[in-house]
């Protein structure tokens, strides 16, 4: 739910657009603009993903006889809840030498996951 908070006298007409300037339209059970100017994007299954709707920039405007104002662009990017596994890449090292380990995070979740510690046998070794 993304509100378009604006008020004025006389009352402002609130509208939503894609960053390209194209008007948006309601898509049943996917996207709806409420009478109060709130844009709602409904939960959807991965098979219903549409990049035009779920991975796009939007902005709203408020307009009355006194003028028109535009919000900054608002980025909408859908994220799917999918199971994933973080793992450590195998390394070989001679006794007494340094080994560098790398945490492998699947690319689909890389921008949402960060490494906060390293553990060995459930004991934190690097905070």
Q: Would you write out the chain's pLDDT as a tens digit for each of its 127 residues?
A: 999 998 888 999 999 999 999 999 999 989 999 999 999 999 988 888 898 999 999 999 999 999 999 999 999 998 878 888 988 888 888 899 988 888 899 888 888 888 888 888 888 886 6
Size of the chain in residues:
127
**For the structural domain made of 2-77, what CATH number should be given?**
2.60.40.10
Supply the pLDDT for residue 100: 86
- What tokens were used for 39? 């844009």
Distances (CA, A) of 123 to 88, 91, 100, 118, 119: 16, 20, 19, 8, 5
Supply the pLDDT for residue 127: 60
- What tokens were used for 47? 């098979």
Sequence spans of domains, the chain: 2-77, 87-125
């Amino acid at each position: 739910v993304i509100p378009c908070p604006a008020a004025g006298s006389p009352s402002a007409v609130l509208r939503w657009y894609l960053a390209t300037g194209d008007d948006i339209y309601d898509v049943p059970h996917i996207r709806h603009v409420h009478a109060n100017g709130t844009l709602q994007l409904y939960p959807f299954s991965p098979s219903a993903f549409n990049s035009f709707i779920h991975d796009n920039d939007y902005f709203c405007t408020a307009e009355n006889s006194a003028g028109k104002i535009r919000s900054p662009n608002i980025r909408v990017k859908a994220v799917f809840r999918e199971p994933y596994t973080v793992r450590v890449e195998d390394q070989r090292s001679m006794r007494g030498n340094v080994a560098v380990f790398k945490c492998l995070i699947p690319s689909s979740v890389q921008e949402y996951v960060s490494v906060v510690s390293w553990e060995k046998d459930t004991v934190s070794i690097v905070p």
